[in-house]
Amino acid sequence: MSTTLERPALATPRKVTPAKDSRTLLKSQVRTGWALLAPALLHSGVFIVIPVIAVLVLSLTDYSFGDTWAWVGFGNYADLFRDVDFQASLWHTVLYAIVVIPISMAIALAVAVGLNQKIRGLTFFRTAYYIPTVTATVAVATIWLWIYNPGSGLANGFLSLFGFAPNRWLADPATALPSLMVVGIWQGLGTKVIIYLAALQTVSRDLLESADLDGAGRWQKFANVTWPAIGPVQFFVLITSIVGTFQVFDLVYVMTQGGPGSETRVLVMDIYQNAFQDLKLGYASAETVIMMIVIALFIGVGRLLQKADAND
Amino acid sequence: MRRGVGLTLLAAALSVVVSSCGNGVIDKSTDGVPPAEATGTLRVLLPSFPPSTKGKEEFQKVVDDFHKTYPKMKVEPDFATYKNLNEKMSTSIAAGIPYDVMVTGVGWVQPFASKNIFEDLGKYGVTPDVIKEKSTPALIPAVTYDKKLYAYPLIADARAVALRKSAFREAGLDPDKPPTSLAEIKVAAEKLTKRDKDGNITRSGFDLASATGFRQSFVTFLASTGTPLYVGGEPNFDNKAGLDTLLWIKSMINNVQPYGQTNAAQQPLVLTGEAAMGIVNGGVDCSADGIGQKNCDDLKFFRFNSGKEIEYVGGDLASIGSRSRHKDAAWAFIQTLTQPTTLDAIAKLNKKVPAYKDASNSPQAKSNPLSQFVADGLVYAVNENEVPSNWLEMRGNFDIQLTQAVLGQKDPAKVLHNLAGQSR
């Protein structure tokens, strides 16, 4: 009996002690959490938060690398909306995004579906599609400059086989931007294909087999099983594509410098020109703020489309 | 206790970040210190020496000469190009480590002087009379802002016109009577242009040297009518002369030369035979390593003259950074750079002519007929003249908007009016 009486007495303090330990553990866990987070927070603070604040502040000034500067309020923003180069750059960027994003996503998905089959040379094809992504844009652009060369380029050489007259591709205002879009689509394919491929391999085999048993065709299986299953990945690809296409710069810088005239001038090119060629850093900062807002709007639209798709 | 250690570590990390981003790389000022005792790093930005082995060797000779006066100063060169000059300067200012010596071109001095980025060289005894006596007087407007001099010329980048004698004879034209006015050039160029059966131009009649923009060619053609682009910082092109010039360029493009025509070597097309006539820069290599003596003998050089004989002259202009902590050393370095032997070497490296008084007798002028021709023609020098302080912005505006006018995307008169309105 005595032993039975003693056990509960011992049990109570034991229950209390772990509770004290868990509180202590929780605090140390919190500290460890903050310690582990600190590098990332420091990095974000130094390289994201401070620059964003700096850009916002600079956008309200006329700073141009000189000794003096002044607050101009929203003057830079007002000037931007009257600036034909900015308007052209914004339009070209939006157009570039609208064309390149859906086409590259569609092609990448089709290629990924193809590469998800058991076909010969699968490793070769996967590598081949990914090579443009790991190749430096300057190298890619240089090769495409040769392809588009009006005199000795591959594009005109190929078209001449079918009797087409030579085109001046990058020198013609009508074809310069579409020519860049083709390169943009081609270059961005690899990353998207790899992501889609990974997503396709996570689609439930059980669901696909069930669809087979129900007599669903290939298209029905894709539309009703595969497509919904890769929804989150679609959204990820969409967001990264929006950000990527809005930040297109190196391709344009190497291939056309924004020309002919301003036919291929894009937002980042215009920001670069204003900041580092014309030395109007305040003005370029205002342009950067507008670019961030436009990207946010596009991502917002992407989210809405994604939600609508998920509800369907 | 642990929290204290954590905070100390965080503070230490922050101090490392801050100190590495801060002024740790900035030297103490050496101004007023005897040259033999001055220590620090002289940062030099210049497009005058190509980053080739030969270019670096020639630059090292300048450094060696400079070290005779400043033996303990380190010289850190940045071999820029005109294309990335502005971004190098702006990023150096933003990073808080500005250059001590900056070599720029025509059109750069006024914008940078107005922002107080360049030092007034009057403090070092540089006056218009000094430049007239020792250098190229034609470049005085290019180095002047608010009646003060902010740069010293190193080399003159002079341009002329060349024709192919064989092409002229083939087209029934007399190469000894070159067309010099815009109207004459157009008539001759149309006769000289060769096309294939589909009408595509296979040899241009006239190379406007405007593959990347029409700014400099517009300035040149306009000046040949006796109309400078700017006078006292005010636009002088929104008028009949300006419009006629722009319409003339428009009538030439895709008529005697396809838009955007260039070659892989970025050489003037008349030198390679891809054009029968065209604008050339300040030198030609007639050796077997260059275009060869036979090709050289086939060339004749002349200047534009639509009322005024002119030669477009740009140049490399050396300035001292106003935020430099080694201004005395920077001036000593510029003095070393402007030694005649150094200028000869820079001129040879860049196929331009040295900007010293007797450029016609320089080794570069004697080395080839084109350099001799442009050196003799420095008295006819023209350029953008007295540009407004927002010229850096206007350069891009001219390139874009003139192209839009030439390609028929915008009304030429409106383009000129717009450009005049943007100049300030």
The secondary element (H helix, E strand) that includes residue A1 is: none
Any domain includes B116:
yes
Going A270 to A273 to A276 to A280, the CA torsion angle's sign is negative
Same domain for B262 and B358, yes or no, is no
Q: In this prediction, what percent of chain B has a pLDDT beyond 70?
A: 94
Helix segments in B70-206, DSSP class H:
85-95, 109-114, 128-134, 140-143, 165-170, 182-192
Residues B205 and B300 in one domain: yes
Confidence check: pLDDT of B30 > 70: yes
Question: B91 to chain A: which residues are within 8 Å by CB?
Answer: 276
Tokens for B295, please give them: 């090709």
Kindly state whether A281 is in contact with chain B, defined as any CB-CB distance less than 8 angstroms. Answer: yes
> In Å, how far is A18's CA from the nearest CA of chain B?
23
In a domain, B15, yes or no: no
In a domain, B2, yes or no: no
Residue B287: inside a domain: yes
Structure tokens at B72: 């303990």
- pLDDT for B424 beyond 90: no
How high is the mean pLDDT in each 10-residue block of chain A (312 residues)? 43 49 72 92 93 95 87 95 92 95 95 86 82 85 89 86 86 92 92 92 90 90 91 91 92 90 92 89 95 92 79 64
Per-residue pLDDT tens digits for A245-263: 999 999 999 999 898 888 9
* Structural domains in chain A, sorted by start: 83-305 (1.10.3720.10)
CA distances to A1, A186, A242, B98 from A101, rounded to whole Å, are 79, 11, 7, 41
Query: Could you say which DSSP state residue B210 is in?
Result: -
- Statement to judge: residues B236 and B296 lie in one domain: yes
Same domain, B114 and B195: no
Q: Which residues pair with A72 in a beta bridge?
A: none
Across the interface, which of B390, B393, B403 has its CB nearest the CB of A259?
A: B403
Neighbours of A293 (CB within 10 A): 10
Query: How many angstroms separate the CA of residue B359 from the nearest CA in chain A?
Result: 32
Provide the 10 A C-beta neighbour count for residue B345.
23
> B107 — phi, psi (to 5°)?
100, -15
Which H helix or E strand runs over A207? helix A205-213
Measured between CA atoms, how close is B298 to chain A, in angstroms? 26
DSSP string for B31-87: TTS-GGG--EEEEEEESSS-SSHHHHHHHHHHHHHHHHH-TTEEEEEEE--TTTHHH
B13, B86, B200: residue with CB nearest A166: B200
Q: What is the dihedral of CA B398, B400, B405, B406, to 10 degrees?
A: 100
Is B58 a member of any domain?
yes
Select from A189, A176, A192, A181 the least CA-distant residue to A100: A181
Does the residue B56 lie in any domain?
A: yes
- Residues B169, B113, single domain; the answer is no
B182, B289: one domain: yes
The verdict on A70 touching B (C-beta cutoff 8 Å) is no
Q: Both B186 and B124 in a single domain?
A: no
Domain count for chain B: 2
Q: Can you give the pLDDT at residue B15? A: 46
Cβ–Cβ under 8 Å, residues B137 and B382: no
Residue B102 DSSP code: E
pLDDT in tens, A148-157: 988 778 998 8
Interface confidence, given as ipTM, is 0.74
Q: Within this chain, do residues B193 and B143 fall inside the same structural domain, yes or no?
A: no
Considering the domain boundaries, does residue B138 fall inside one? yes
pLDDT, residue B389, reads 83
For A308, other C-beta atoms within 10 Å of its C-beta total 9
Give B269 to chain A, closest Cα distance, Å: 15
Interface size A-B, in CB pairs within 8 Å, comes to 82
* Host domain of residue B188: 160-312+387-422
Quote the pLDDT of residue A27. Answer: 83
CB–CB of B86 and A276 under 8 A? yes
CB contact under 8 A, B90 and A278: no
Higher pLDDT, B214 or B24: B214
Considering the domain boundaries, does residue B228 fall inside one?
Answer: yes
Q: Do B90 and A66 touch (CB under 8 A)?
A: no
Whether residue B236 sits in one domain with residue B188: yes
Using 50, 70 and 90 to split pLDDT, how confident is the model at B25?
Answer: low
Residue B158's φ and ψ, nearest 5 degrees, are -95, 145
Given this model, what pLDDT does residue B90 score?
A: 85
Collapsing DSSP to helix, strand or coil, A255 comes out as: helix
Put simply, the answer to whether B90 touches A276 (Cβ < 8 Å) is yes
Q: By the CB < 8 Å criterion, does A149 face chain B?
A: no
Tell me the CATH number at B365: 3.40.190.10
Best residue in A43, A277, A285 to probe B by mutation, most B CBs within 10 Å?
A277
B396–A278 CB contact, under 8 Å: yes
Q: Are residues B194 and B285 in the same domain?
A: yes
